[in-house]
Amino acid sequence: MAKRMTAEGGASTEDRIRYGFLLTVSRQPSETELENVLNFYKEQAAKPNASDLKTLTLVANVLMNTDEAITKE
């Protein structure tokens, strides 16, 4: 999913995260959600040995495990 977010989501991290929401919960993130996820991305990307793909993999892992992604509403 991180690969798809990179290839299909757009050039900016913000766009890629928005695309991650579309893929998992079929909607755009709220402003707060986007901010939360972006902060997480920055935190993880600053770690040694971090790469864009690794960090987006962590983001994808979180999004796929949200209650909204798992539960049919």
| Separation between Cα atoms, residue 52 and residue 20, nearest integer Å | 14
Stretch in the footprint of other proteins (CB under 8 A) among 2-10, 12-20, 65-73:
65-73
Nearest to 47 by CA among 33, 36, 58: 58
- Distance in angstroms (rounded) separating the CA atoms of residues 70 and 73: 9
**Closest alpha carbon to 37 in 21, 26, 53:** 21
Residue 37 makes contact with other proteins by CB under 8 A: yes
One character per residue 15-34, x = contact with other proteins (rule: CB under 8 A): ---------------x-xx-
Applying CB under 8 A, the site for other proteins has a residue count of 20
Binding site for other proteins (CB under 8 A): 30, 32-33, 36-37, 40, 43-44, 47, 54, 58, 61-62, 65-68, 70-71, 73
